[in-house]
């Protein structure tokens, strides 16, 4: 009883400096696979509003906290957000984002030990009008052996018609429907901004 109580008081993680990027979220105790760790909170705005808020940002600034819920709604973790926005991207993550009833939750996909950094795969969507250096802007530094080098998904930029299949339109950023793909940012990135949560400094 006592231990259950005290563990209830101990938060799952704490935010501190990360070697991956800016700040990160680190487990304070063992988190079992399947645990719903935190809800991704922030002001819920339209895509238009999200665009408006971040369009003035430098194109090379990947430091925003937008999370696409669906074709109508984006969560802006930069306004009224919680610590979920500090969870970094990884290509080999121990968490995933789950969209349920238009709310977004971060859940453990495996058992996480105290001290481990929490992460999930942002899978930022690609857009037809992404600048050529979009992969640099959203470069991944997770350091895993299987790092794909980018926080974007699909991992490779669709090739121009000449080089590949004539279809490059796939990256259309359909609203996050399939809960666990598509998540974060992205949908609707007319500019690379809508992106990742990388902590600002
Ligand atoms: Zn990576």
User: What pLDDT does residue 6 have?
Assistant: 57
Q: How far is the CA of 144 from the centre of ligand 1 (A)?
A: 6
Residue 156: partners with Cβ closer than 8 Å, 6 or more residues away? none
Tell me how far apart the 2 most distant CA atoms of the chain are, in Å. Answer: 66
CA–CA dist 98, 69 (Å, integer): 10
Q: How far is the CA of 1 from the centre of ligand 1 (A)?
A: 41
Q: How far is the CA of 140 from the centre of ligand 1 (A)?
A: 4
Q: How far is the CA of 39 from the centre of ligand 1 (A)?
A: 23
- Decide the pairing of beta strands 103-108 and 36-39: antiparallel
Running DSSP on this structure, what letter comes out for residue 137? H
Torsion angle of the four alpha carbons 96, 44, 195, 131, in this order, in degrees rounded to the nearest 10: 140
Rounded average pLDDT per 10-residue block, the chain, 201 residues? 61 92 92 98 93 70 78 92 94 96 96 97 84 88 92 77 43 32 34 38 34
Q: How far is the CA of 3 from the centre of ligand 1 (A)?
A: 37
Is the pTM higher than 0.85? The answer reads no
Nearest partner of 49 among 84, 76, 67, 70, judged by Cα = 76
CA–CA dist 105, 34 (Å, integer): 11
Q: Could you give the 3-state DSSP secondary structure of residue 134? A: helix
Q: How far is the CA of 88 from the centre of ligand 1 (A)?
A: 10
User: What pLDDT does residue 50 have?
Assistant: 87
Q: Could you give the 3-state DSSP secondary structure of residue 169? A: helix
Q: How far is the CA of 155 from the centre of ligand 1 (A)?
A: 10
Q: Could you give the 3-state DSSP secondary structure of residue 84? A: helix
Q: Domain extents for the chain?
A: 11-171
Could you tell me the CATH superfamily of domain 11-171?
SET domain (2.170.270.10)
């Amino acid at each position: 009883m006592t231990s259950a109580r005290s563990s209830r008081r101990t938060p799952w993680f704490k935010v501190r400096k990360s070697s991956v990027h800016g700040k990160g979220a680190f487990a304070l105790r063992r988190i079992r696979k399947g645990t719903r760790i935190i809800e991704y909170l922030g002001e819920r705005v339209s895509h238009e509003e999200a665009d408006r808020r971040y369009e003035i940002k430098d194109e090379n600034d990947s430091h925003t906290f937008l999370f696409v819920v669906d074709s109508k709604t984006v969560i802006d973790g930069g306004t009224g957000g919680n610590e979920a926005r500090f969870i970094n991207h990884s290509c080999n993550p121990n968490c995933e984002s789950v969209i349920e009833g238009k709310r977004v939750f971060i859940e453990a996909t495996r058992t996480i030990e105290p001290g481990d950094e929490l992460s999930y795969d942002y899978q930022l969507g690609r857009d037809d009008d992404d600048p050529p250096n979009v992969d640099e802007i959203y470069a991944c530094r997770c350091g895993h052996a299987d790092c794909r080098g980018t926080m974007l998904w699909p991992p490779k930029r669709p090739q121009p018609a000449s080089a590949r299949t004539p279809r490059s339109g796939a990256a259309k950023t359909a609203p996050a429907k399939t809960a666990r793909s598509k998540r974060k940012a992205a949908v609707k990135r007319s500019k690379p901004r809508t992106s990742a949560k990388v902590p600002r400094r």
